[in-house]
Amino acid sequence: MKSNFKDIINSETPVLVDFFADWCGPCKMLAPILKQVKDELGDSVKIVKIDVDKNQPLAAQFQVRGVPTMILFRNGEQKWRQSGVLQKDDLISIINQHKN
């Protein structure tokens, strides 16, 4: 998973990683918002969901203490991160800031 994850985030296209858990209420609220973001931005963003229960070493590596935690990567670098649910328009503007 780890080397694969490195390949995924090492991309010119911004990659939004959603660290989530099945038991997490706010994570369930975030899922349809992420779908709307993807529908609106299309190929200009990649959205990857990581289940913290199934990928504990990865969650630990990025010091994910609470879910949902979203981290935006570009060219393998962390550009932004936040825990909690954000609205679609806020997420889109954050992603757009990191496109170039």
- Count the domains in the chain: 1
pTM above 0.75, yes or no: yes
* Predicted confidence (pLDDT) at residue 19 exceeds the cutoff of 90: yes
Share of the chain above pLDDT 70, in %: 96
- pLDDT attached to residue 99: 83
For 33-44, what is the mean pLDDT? 97
| Domain extent at residue 72 | 2-97
Cβ neighbours around 98 below 10 Å, total: 16
Once rounded to an integer, what is the mean pLDDT over residues 12-23?
A: 97
Whether pLDDT at 1 is above 80? no
Torsion angle of the four alpha carbons 62, 66, 72, 75, in this order, in degrees rounded to the nearest 10: 10
Indicate which residues carry an active-site annotation: 24, 27
CATH code of residue 28: 3.40.30.10
* pLDDT of res. 73: 97
Q: Residue 3 has what pLDDT?
A: 64
Strand order in the sheet with 46-51: 46-51, 15-20, 69-74, 77-83
Three-state DSSP at 75 gives coil
